[in-house]
Amino acid sequence: MNPHSITQEELNHVYSLLDFIQASPSAYHAVQSVEKVLKAQGFKELKFEDKWSILPQGRYYVTKNGTALIAFIAGEDHPENTGFHIVGAHTDSPSFRLKPSPEISVEGRYLKLNVETYGGPILNTWLDRPLSVAGRVVLKGESILRPRSMLIHSSSPILVIPNLAIHMNRKVNEGIELNKQKDLLPLLSTLGEGLDKDGILMGHLAELLNIRSEDILDFDLFLYEFESGNVIGLNQEFVSSSRLDDLAMVHAGAWALSQVQGNEATAVLACFDHEEVGSTSKQGAASPLLAHVLERILLAQGKGREAYFQALERTFMISADMAHALHPNSGEKHDPVNKPVLNGGPVIKISANQSYTTDAESSVMFEGLCQLAKVPVQKFVNRSDERGGSTIGPISATHLEIRSVDVGNPILGMHSIRELGGVKDHLAMSKVFREFFGI
C-alpha cells in the first residue's frame, strides 16, 4: 500500500472536522460545538460564580463570554505530583464584524452593510463569495446588568462582496489595494420605493429567532463563508475550508480529550478567543483565565497555593495553532532547510526571538509524543528575513511560567477564506493530543 494513501479513518476524521467547522461559523458557535462534543462524553459545566467541587476522573468545563472554553479531566494523581497536561488553541478566525446601525443605502436602490475588519483576513479571498452572518444578539434580561444572549446564524447566503469588473479596474491583475471601508462592504439586498433600510437585517434575524426585532438591543455579528469545506486532491489528500486556523486544533483537542480514560495527570483543553487581534481580552490568552481555572481546580480539591505553584512547575502546554506548509509556487519564501509539507505530520514552530515558546527541551518532549502516537513530525522556522506571525503560546507564557511548545498542522493560504490542509495531518495531531492527555 502506498504510505501516502489516505485511510478511511483519516478521511472520516476530516469529514468530522468539516462538520464541526460548518457548525461553528463564529467563535460563539465554536464554543457551542465543543460543548456538544464534551457533553456527549459526560462532561459537566461548572460556573465561575459557583463553588466548585471536583472528583478524581471527573469531567468538567467552563466557558467565558461564550467564546472561550476550558475543559478538563481531573487526574488520578494529584496535580502537585503530575502537573497539568494542557493543549491550547483559539476559537476565533479573521473575518468582518458588523458595525452599529449597519444598514447603508446606496442611491436608494441597494442595501449594503457597514463592517470593520476583524484580524488579518486575506481580503481579496472574501470577494464574490456567498457569505452570511453569525454571532450573538443581546436581548433584555432579568436586570440591566444581566442581559440575555442568543446565538444566531443566518442559514442562507444573504450577503456578497462584489468585485469591480476588470473593465473598470484595468490594473486589477497587477495588484490592487482594497480599502477596508470602501471596497469590502457586503451587499444585502435591493431597496424599492418606500422601503426603509433601517432594521431590515434585524428583522431577518428576529424572524429566524422567532422574536420581535425591537427585542434585539445589540449584537456581536461576524461574516462567514456560507459554502462548506471540501476534501480535494487526486487521492483525497487535501482539505479545503474556512477557519482551519484554528478550528482544526480546537476540534483535534476536543476529540482527544473526549477519548481519554484513566489519566494520571489532569488533562486540560484551553480554547481562547481573540488570538487574531492580540489576545488582550478577558477571554483571550493574555487574560488570567487559564491561571485562575488551574488554581480553582486545586482549590476545589482542598489544596492551597503551594500545591498550585508545585503543579505549575510540572505542567506542560502544547500551544496548537496552524503552521505554514511549503508553498508549491513560492518555495523561496521558506527557510532553506526546514520546509514542512502538507501530510508530512504535525509541525513544531521555532523562533529565536520567542514569537514561539518552543525550546530544544520542549521540542524533544513533543517529538517523543509524536513517536508514541506513531506519527511523523516536522519543524518550521521563518526565513531569517521574514517576520512571521505569533500565537497564544508566548502570550500565555507571560502569565503562566510553564514549559510549553508551539506546534500546529501545516496549511497553505493561512487567513484566506479557504485554507488548505493535509487530511493525514489532522488525525496525526489528534492522536498526539490523545497520547499527551492520556499519560
CA distance 409 to 10: 14
CA distance 58 to 268: 12
CB of 33 to Zn ion, least distance (A): 17
C-beta of residue 161 within 8 angstroms of C-beta of residue 127: yes
Minimum CB distance to Zn ion smaller for 103 or for 245? 245
CB of 229 to Zn ion, least distance (A): 17
Minimum CB distance to Zn ion smaller for 74 or for 247? 247
Residues 135-164 contacting Zn ion, CB under 5 A: none
Minimum CB distance to Zn ion smaller for 75 or for 94? 94
Write each residue from 219 to 258 as x if it is in contact with Zn ion (CB under 5 A), else as -, in one continuous string.
Answer: --------------------------xx------------
Strand 316-320 relative to strand 403-408, pairing: parallel
CB of 245 to Zn ion, least distance (A): 4
C-beta of residue 134 within 8 angstroms of C-beta of residue 242: no
Among residues 199, 253, 247, 220, the alpha carbon closest in space to that of 66 is found at 220
Minimum CB distance to Zn ion smaller for 111 or for 249? 249
Residue 321 binding Zn ion, by CB under 5 A = yes
Minimum CB distance to Zn ion smaller for 10 or for 321? 321
Strands (E), 107-195: 110-118, 131-143, 146-153, 187-190
Stretch that binds Zn ion, among 59-67, 182-190, 313-321, 353-361 (CB under 5 A): 313-321
CB of 391 to Zn ion, least distance (A): 6
Judged by CB under 5 A, the number of residues near Zn ion is: 3
CB of 367 to Zn ion, least distance (A): 22
Residues 19-38 contacting Zn ion, CB under 5 A: none
Strands (E), 233-277: 238-241, 266-272
CB of 278 to Zn ion, least distance (A): 12
CB atoms < 10 A from the CB of 29, how many? 26
Show the cell assigned to 82.
Answer: 503530575
Minimum CB distance to Zn ion smaller for 237 or for 245? 245
DSSP sequence for 287-343: SSHHHHHHHHHHHTTT--HHHHHHHHHH-EEEEE--EEPPPTT-GGGB-SS----TT
CB of 424 to Zn ion, least distance (A): 20
The residues that touch Zn ion, with contacts defined as CB under 5 A, are 245-246, 321
